[in-house]
Amino acid sequence: MSNFNAWRRLKVICRRLITLILQDLAFFMPWPTRSYFHRARGIRIGKDVFLGSLVILDDAYPEYITIEDHVQVSAGAKIVTHDSSFHNVFEGRVPTQIRPVVIKRHAYIGSGALILPGVTVGEKAIVGAGAVVTKDVPARAVVVGVPAVVVGTIDEKVDKFLDRTGFFISKYYEQPGRLSENEKDKLKRGL
């Protein structure tokens, strides 16, 4: 029995070491290659996913993360699938909690956001920069804060967003500009 436990422990150590090496490689690689290294760690990543620089995807249990198509995870965001706090405090007598995290299609995770175990971020939802997400985010919702709370929907917030200056749409690439009312209406119809 002790040989079996030793072999099992060695397998766990090797798996953890490999996933940490792949995480470090992804951490420092240019963005088009980051998904490749995270997929090799067991993370399910859809097509056309952008992972910003310094993004951390759970180092111990990455296989419990699913990131669907067309998601953007901005610089410094973290996604965690396990909680070992009680395991540590009670000297290993309480097991580590592992819960999956799912980021649905077209969601946006802001810079420095933290997604905790068991959270599903709904389709086309926005998680604000620095938010700490402790519970599910509804589809098309905007959440901000610590802990994250819903402050509205993307439909409610789009007018305020479109009124900002500084758009870098192709025609404004040379110099940021404000959208005309016609351009705003056309964009809103396309949403």
132, 167: one domain: no
85 in helix, strand or coil?
helix
Q: What is the pLDDT of residue 178?
A: 67
Supply the pTM of this predicted model: 0.83
Domain count for the chain:
2
80, 110: one domain: yes
93, 6: one domain: yes
In this predicted model, what pLDDT tens digit does every residue of 129-181 receive, in sequence order?
A: 999 999 999 999 999 999 999 999 998 888 777 776 565 455 555 555 666 77
99, 132: one domain: yes
Residue located via tokens 């025609």 = 171
97, 173: one domain: no
Assess contact for 122 and 104: CB atoms under 8 A.
yes
Q: How far apart are CA 173 and CA 178, in angstroms?
A: 12
178, 102: one domain: no
User: In the structure, what pLDDT confidence band is assigned to residue 1 with cuts at 50, 70 and 90?
Assistant: low
92, 112: one domain: yes
In this predicted model, what pLDDT tens digit does every residue of 79-121 receive, in sequence order?
A: 999 998 887 888 888 888 999 999 999 999 999 999 999 999 9
Higher pLDDT, 52 or 29: 52
Residue 48 has pLDDT above 90, yes or no: yes
16, 78: one domain: yes
Burial class of residue 172 (count of CB atoms within 10 Å of its CB; 0-12, 13-18, 19+): middle
Structural domain span for residue 40: 2-147
Backbone angles phi, psi at 158, to 5 degrees: -65, -40
84, 69: one domain: yes
Q: Look up the CATH number of the domain holding residue 108.
A: 2.160.10.10
Query: 158, 129, 118, 124: which is closest to 141 by C-alpha?
Result: 124
